[in-house]
Amino acid sequence: MPDTPPDTPPDTLGPTGVTADDIRARVGGLVAAHDPATTDPVEFLGHRFDAGLAWVHFPPGRGGLGAPRALQHVAEQELAAAGAPPPNNLRNPLGLGMAAPTIAVHGTDEQRTRLLRPLWTGAEVWCQLFSEPGAGSDLAGLATRAVRDGDAWIVTGQKVWTSFAHKARWAMLLARTDPDLPKHQGLTYFFVDMTLPGVEVRPLRQATGQAEFNEVFLTDVRVPDTMRVDEPGNGWAVSNTTLMNERVAIGAAEAPREAGAIGAVAALWRERPDLRTPGLHDRVVRAWVDAEVARLANERIRQQLAAGKPGPEGSAAKMSYARINQDTTRLWLELAAEEGLAYDDWEMRRIELGGTEGERAPGYYYLRAKGNSIEGGTTEILRGVIADRVLELPREPRNDTKLPWMEIPR
């Protein structure tokens, strides 16, 4: 039975009476003072943060205006009409998708002041130090230790599958601070400066030949207590905020019709009648319908997010995305026949932030899609979240939730 985190803490960000007209006036003032046509794009992002137009529902001075979250689309529309650079979460995907909402809800004022602006502009990239080689999908079973030492915590352990750790200045870290408590209760959350002594990052080569991920070794890393998030022992609840936002970011990203692999399949089907067979016709139609249903369902989740906070439905979106992308890339490979087996590049490379791989052969996407059911929460874990929190089914009995972590067999 997978772990089911507690309910997301209350969203502490509240509206302050800001209207859509206020947002439009703010955008007008921003572009008048900093012409998007002549201002460096990164510099413009900084001015946008200072104007409260990064996340309009964040507090004033923290990149927002305390406006209703639903007004974010007004800011985006007005900025696009004014020729501002389009939002591109690839400049700092984990920072924007996971760290920012965690900082906003659980961070101290000092942490928000120090961290949010460079996170928004992409000047400081973030990664996530959650997964461990010994804990598998059982996040609450992690073994990385943090021991209090005066005004700091000494952190020792190993993390794995850490995207962008080789680029990151900051990390979201979950560590065990009390091994005598049950595994969900003895955890504490930290923001860790990846330049601290004792942090070592090693690349992991994937089946695609690339190295998007890393192992991270933490050896007596001294993390200031000022970078602790929430109270000691409350790390599981804080991590829930991060994980819920992660699954929405992965599974419910905005996309036009026929975006991604289904677009390539549809284009190949239209352009290459010589590749068609009756059996493939049925599968192409089914894949197209699945992709469109998922796209429309994701749009509903985004609307739900605009009205409040991410819920467990994001787990369903992420799980559906993984299945559909794996099925579609397999279909793409079969449709392309022997041409799809050609693999253009096995060189070990790292994808740059904000960059893309460009056009690759179907075999690359087929291999890369295998990771979709692992990254951001395994499919097995997400099924448990849906069973518990969406369907409210009886929970599977388990015998390790009340035992001290030290006494759990490993």
Strand partners, 153: 148, 223
Residue 292 falls in the annotated catalytic set: no
Mapped onto helix, strand or coil, the DSSP state of residue 398 is coil
Which is the catalytic residue, given 200, 246, 271, 347? 246
CA distance 45 to 47: 5
Is 398 exposed, middle or buried (CB count within 10 Å of its CB: 0-12, 13-18, 19+)?
Answer: exposed
CA distance 405 to 394: 24
Classify residue 153 by its DSSP letter: E
Strand partners, 182: 404
CA distance 308 to 222: 36
Which pair of structure tokens corresponds to residue 261? 């692999």
Strand partners, 376: none
In contact, 404 and 180? CB cutoff 8 Å: yes
Residues ≥6 apart with Cβ < 8 Å to 159:
129, 130, 131, 132, 144, 215, 216, 218
Mapped onto helix, strand or coil, the DSSP state of residue 343 is coil
In contact, 289 and 266? CB cutoff 8 Å: no
CA distance 67 to 17: 7
In contact, 159 and 132? CB cutoff 8 Å: yes
CA distance 189 to 179: 15
Q: Which residues are catalytically annotated?
A: 246
